[in-house]
Structure 1
Amino acid sequence: MYKYLITPEQLKQHLHEPGYLIFDVRHDLLNHQAGLHAYQQGHIPGALFLDHEQQLAAEKTGKNGRHPLPKRSDFAALMRLQGLGTRTQVVVYDSSNGLFACHLWWMLRWLGHEKVAVLEGGWPSWLAIGGEQETGIRKPARTEAQALQSLPMSEHAAMPVRTVDQVCAELGNDNRVVLDARAPERFRGEHEPMDPVAGHIPGALNRSHLQNLEADGKFKTIEKLREEFDALLGHIKPPQVTHQCGSGITACHNLFAMEMAGLAGSNLYPGSWSEWVADASRPVELD
């Protein structure tokens, strides 16, 4: 069972085996059509495309962030239609150093599905080994009637989530830490290309998701990740950590890295900065 990473070579060995479900989640936050266009031009054979704006986010109200988390029941229904079953091995990839792939990885784990892995190096690494390609759009083979008969969902989410009210209530608590995955210049409020207000949640720590990667775009070793997170968090344990970013996507990269390093049980604040600044009464820190 692949739970965290799968290499292109490993995927190539399993590519035509039954029981594997591959998702292409390439995306561009500034050009929402780019991911689907890239998928149509070429993707891993059998891969299904999922859109981060429409399929992997709930309806936006202007107050709930740029990528609000859908209801678990709605997401489970979507996954059933894609062909996900309890025994399915899922592989997710993008072309953004795992940024969007880790988000879907987290959503599937939140649903309670453990057999899900991120393709190490994503689409570029697949091309680098000469992996097969197909073009066009592949549609799920499962019918709605078949989907209703599969994938029972547990009552409780397998990955913990914090709401904006909970994060607000925990401000100033020395036993809770908000970990912001945005770039340092966005965290400090020097540059804000996505949201109307610059800065960060008061007291938050900053670790850009890029710090989880080596220069070649692949994840650092488990040992190195563990050492870095231990040094950053000190006495704070994973259940006391709440991951945050601009809209709940990049935060999953840090959460994934912690889980892979054996630091399991941290929380996600899905609304993140885009939800936080939608209410002017919430405090903002600049530094």
Structure 2
Amino acid sequence: MNASYATLIGPVELAQRLHSPDWVVFDCRFDLCNTDFGLHAYLGQHIPGAFFLDLETDLSAPRTGVNGRHPLPDPAKLAARLEACGVSHHTQVVAYDDACGMFAARLWWLLRWLGHNRVAVLDGGLQAWSSAGLPLDSAQPEAQPATYALAPRANRVDADFVLGHLGQPQILLIDARSPDRFRGENEMLDPVGGHIPGAINRFFRDNLQPDGRFKQASVLREEFGALLGNHPPQQVVHHCGSGVTACVNVLAMESAGLSGSLLYAGSWSEWCADPRRPVATGPA
């Protein structure tokens, strides 16, 4: 079997394999302030052969008001959508966006949740692809439907787990939001500002170099090592505003060889929907 990619792939490496029959590429572009942006951008130009997946309709379940802004999708429905695009257990999947990997990493994490290992994020996204002089087109791909059997992993936790472990030293909560939102300032997306008590802050963009590509694995390992202290990766619970940008921190840790961290998918938007859950403000 050809070499597989489980975290990141560069644009040149992707271009060399773009037309391989066992590779499927997904365009995950999205804009939280303009939910039609991603599809319109995709229809205009995309990496040749790429399919489009929408954060809200494909990669999330409907909101109820108490389950966060981007609840996890139904696994069977997501698997069916992937099957329709030709994804089987043997497929190498590559996800990309134009937003520092924040939406592509959501698909990366979801596939791992379903039990799929051969999934990677395009390092540097569409900007890196274009900077390398690689082509774009607007043609709609045709898929050969595949069969996908679910094998879900226990790589996530829920609000009750987090609440039940507050203040316990064996769990480290890492919040991926910007520092001002973590402190409870400038909250524009959720009705309550602040963070989960005991959490520390690792802004997801801190994993990136100025050119938008991920830092070297050795650098990420050193930086996360300083945050984790004596905690093994399996005791780390990532979260953010709605379970999207936290996936970038999971991806960064995995690319650094720090495997096995968990995601609280409901994240702050779910946490703060219940006034009985405690809230902290200010720095960690």
TM-score of Structure 1 vs Structure 2, range by shorter chain: over 0.9
Alignment of 1:5-20 (within 5 A): 5-20=8-23
Residue identity opposite 1:246 in structure 2: G
For the Cα contact (< 8 Å) 1:175–1:236, is it kept in 2? yes
SS of alignment partner, residue 138 of structure 2: coil
Equivalent position to 1:163, from 158, 168, 172: 158
Question: Equivalent residue of 1:56, what SS?
Answer: coil
1:211 and 2:213 correspond: no
CA displacement, residues 229-279 of structure 1 (integer Å, 9 cap, x when unaligned): 111110111111110000000000000111111111111001000000111
User: Quick one: which of 276, 282, 285 aligns to 2:277?
Assistant: 282
Q: CA deviation at 1:140?
A: 5.1
Structure 1: distance between partners of 2:269 and 2:102? 17
For 1:124, the equivalent position in structure 2 comes to 127
1:190 is matched with which residue? 185
Q: Residue 48 of structure 1 contacts residue 140 of structure 1 at CA under 8 Å; is this kept in 2?
A: no
User: Is the counterpart of residue 135 in structure 1 residue 138 in structure 2?
Assistant: yes
Q: Match of 1:57?
A: 60
Aligned 1:1-287 pairs, distance under 5 A? 1-135=4-138, 138=140, 141-142=143-144, 146-147=145-146, 150-154=147-151, 157-158=152-153, 160-287=155-282
How far apart, in 2, do the equivalents of 1:13 and 1:74 lie? 31
Return the alpha-carbon distance in structure 1 between the equivalents of residues 27 and 68 of structure 2.
23
Helix, strand or coil at the partner of 2:156: coil
CA displacement at 1:131 relative to structure 2: 1.3
- 2:190 partner SS: coil
Q: Identity of counterpart residues, as a percentage?
A: 52
Determine the C-alpha separation between the residues in 1 that align with 2:28 and 2:197: 32
Between 116-125 and 157-166, the greater mean CA deviation after superposition: 157-166
The one-letter amino acid of 1:108's match is: L
CA shift, 1:190, in A, is 1.2
Q: What do the CA deviations read for 1:130-172 (whole angstroms, capped 9, x no partner)?
A: 2111116x26524xxx54xx12222xx2351100111111111
Q: Deviations over 1:187-245 (max 9, x none)?
A: 00111111000000001010000110111111011111000111111011111111000
RMSD: 1.2
Cα distance change, pair 187–17 in 1 and its aligned pair in 2 (3 A)? same
* 2:114 and 2:150 in contact (8 A); partners too: yes
Task: Compute the TM-score of the two structures, normalised by the length of structure 2.
Answer: 0.95
**1:74 Cα offset (Å):** 2.1
* Unpaired runs of at least 5, structure 2: none
1:73 CA displacement: 2.0
TM-score (norm 1): 0.94
Matching residue's letter, 2:240: C
Q: Is the 8 A contact 1:42 1:134 kept in 2?
A: yes
Question: Counterpart amino acid of 1:259?
Answer: E
Q: Quick one: distance in 2 between partners of 1:172 and 1:11?
A: 44
Measure, in 1, the Cα distance between the counterparts of 2:253 and 2:84: 30
Q: Name the count of aligned residue pairs.
A: 279
Deviation of 1:75 (Å): 1.7
Task: Report the Cα distance in structure 2 between the residues aligned to 1:139 and 1:274, rounded to whole angstroms.
Answer: 36
